[in-house]
């Protein structure tokens, strides 16, 4: 009987620090709330990119002109959609 009482007392003493820690307020380190900086917006210099592709022989001058024309037309349409103003397509007369 003494043996069981001694084992119980030893286990009770070993569990005391766990009971004391459980009652304290939890400390959250600042690293846990850290959020990475969002990535910078990705922009592409289309004129520079198409020029590089022409120099490398991937595009012809005519294809470069078509791509730049499409890109500028798309930019105008996109800006019109964003502003909410209807307008004529570029290159047409009202």
Residue 26 maps to a domain? no
Q: Print the domain residue range for 65.
A: 46-82
Q: How far apart are CA 11 and CA 17, in angstroms?
A: 11
Predicted local distance difference test score (pLDDT) of residue 56: 95
Q: How far apart are CA 62 and CA 73, in angstroms?
A: 17
Residue 77 maps to a domain? yes
Predicted local distance difference test score (pLDDT) of residue 62: 93
**72, 65 contact by CB (below 8 A):** no
User: In the chain, how many domains are there?
Assistant: 1
Residue 32 maps to a domain? no
Predicted local distance difference test score (pLDDT) of residue 40: 73
- Dihedral sign from CA coordinates of 70, 71, 74, 79: negative
Count, residues in the chain? 94
The pLDDT tens digits along the chain (94 residues) read: 889 889 988 888 787 766 555 556 677 777 777 667 777 777 888 889 899 999 999 999 999 999 888 887 776 666 666 666 555 555 554 4
Q: How far apart are CA 14 and CA 21, in angstroms?
A: 13
């Amino acid at each position: 009987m003494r043996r069981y009482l001694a084992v119980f007392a030893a286990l009770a003493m070993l569990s005391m620090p766990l009971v004391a820690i459980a009652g304290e307020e939890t400390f959250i380190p600042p690293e846990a709330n850290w959020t990475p900086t969002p990535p910078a917006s990705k922009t592409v210099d289309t004129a520079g990119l198409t020029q590089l592709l022409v120099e490398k022989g991937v595009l012809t001058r005519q294809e470069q002109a078509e791509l730049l024309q499409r890109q500028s037309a798309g930019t105008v349409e996109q800006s019109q959609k964003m502003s909410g103003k209807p307008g004529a397509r570029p290159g047409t007369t009202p």
